Amino acid sequence: MKWTPALICIFYIFCGCETVNQNQTGNKSSFSSDYSGEIQPGSWIYDKITYTHDSQSASVNLQIYFPKEYIKGKPFRTLIVLHGYRGSQKDWPNNTGITAMAERYSIVLVCPSMANTIYESAYFPETTNKWGPMPGGLFVPNVLVPYLRKKFSLASSSKLTGIFGNSTGGRGAILAAARNPEMFGVTGGVSGDYDPATMPFNRLLASVYGPYKNFEERWQNTDNLMQMAKGLNGVPVFLGHGDKDSVVGKEQSIILAVRLNELEKSGGSYPKVNKVYSYKMHDWDCWRKALPDIMNFFDENLAK
């Protein structure tokens, strides 16, 4: 199968920032923020969100870049950036030129520290790898986005809000958009994995969902974008992959692209960009090369 680039158009101080919402698991969650300083456009702020879920508390570090054109309280284009497994909120800012590109395109960057989540929507009796009290796949829509809206008037509408990531973060970004298309108007992933059922010996997936041989149906239907892709109707999707990726094969992006094509043929709108980066591995060399395409894609598809 030859896959060529194609555009298918076919943060001790509560600061008054505390809320309670009913999340997707039916449990109440609350959060508070450490940050109490002034925002200086053209710079990063460093924050920590403390949230409580099911009577347990945890904290998540994050950093946010506000471009020079940012005006406090005004709705602004917002891009949530997710790192790979065991990475940190520093990964994209430290390893790429994403700050300069956010300035060029006048986009706020939000980089949370998601550590060891694979963006699961639930835990199971067999789960040995728990990101925190709340499954990682629920944190972004149920805590992070409400925090951004309340504290900074960011991510105020789907047309102004995008989400993307690399590796596991790519999986998380597209899962988030498929679950919450009313929240995320544009999404994308580079070097992501999207169909657990095609990776039955993956130990990381097994640490959340249990062994494939015992829970095939779970692997096929829970957090599987082959089943969830319908939620991306009308959501522009960027898919990129290095063609020499030996950690997550490029086939993971190819099969999601094929699935979106199938859905479009049966009705609906599934606009996307597909791109393979030649002679690139599962590393920052690949992701730096992809970044200009990614940022241009979000600039073109987020409202201005």
Element (H, E) at 258: helix 251-265
* Domain locations in the chain as residue ranges: 6-10+63-301
Per-residue pLDDT for the chain (304 aa), expressed as one digit of tens each? 333 333 332 222 223 343 434 444 444 567 777 777 889 999 999 999 999 998 899 999 999 999 999 998 889 999 999 999 999 999 999 999 999 999 999 999 999 999 999 999 999 999 999 999 999 999 999 999 999 999 999 999 999 999 999 999 999 999 999 999 999 999 999 999 999 999 999 999 999 999 999 999 999 999 999 999 999 999 999 999 999 999 999 999 999 999 999 999 999 999 999 999 998 999 999 999 999 999 999 999 999 9
> What predicted TM-score, i.e. pTM, was given to this entire model?
0.90
- Residue 279: predicted pLDDT: 87
- Residue 38: predicted pLDDT: 87
- Residue 31: predicted pLDDT: 78
Q: Which two tokens stand for residue 103?
A: 């300035």
Give the C-alpha separation, 79 to 64, whole Å.
Answer: 10
Please check whether residue 112 is in contact with residue 105, taking contact to mean a CB–CB distance below 8 angstroms.
no
- Residue 284: predicted pLDDT: 97
Dihedral Cα 231, 219, 276, 264, nearest 10 deg: -30
Indicate the SS3 state at residue 171: helix
Give the C-alpha separation, 242 to 279, whole Å.
Answer: 7
Q: For domain 6-10+63-301, give its CATH number from 3.10.20.70, 3.40.50.1820, 3.40.50.10330, 3.40.50.720.
A: 3.40.50.1820
Q: Residue holding tokens 């005004």?
A: 74
The phi, psi pair for 189, rounded to 5°, reads: -150, 145
- Residue 28: predicted pLDDT: 55
